[in-house]
Amino acid sequence: MEIAIFWIGMAIACSIVASNKARSGFGWFILGLLFNVIALIIVLVLPSRVDGANSPTPETHVKCPDCRELVLREARVCKHCGCKLVPQ
């Protein structure tokens, strides 16, 4: 039982750290459930998203034509799928 509490606590910690870094709290909660301490360590060492806004805007981001994820407008390679992009 203690292990279950510890496990969920780790997942909650992941989601708190993630939302403090303007990342997906729910997504990291799931990752925390899957990978526990490993996910917590990863989210702790990840840099905060520092490009100003909390959420991507059409001024700063475009949708990748391949995977439809938002990527920075200046990006040449999609960070999600690795496909080449034309900077706009």
Of 44 and 67, which has the nearer Cβ to Zn ion? 67
- Report how far apart the first and last C-alpha atoms of the chain are (Å, whole number): 53
Residues 44-83 that bind Zn ion (CB under 5 A): 64, 66-67, 78, 80-81
Of 53 and 67, which has the nearer Cβ to Zn ion? 67
Of 39 and 78, which has the nearer Cβ to Zn ion? 78
In the block, which residue shows the tokens 């510890």?
Answer: 6
Name the residues that contact Zn ion, by CB under 5 A: 64, 66-67, 78, 80-81
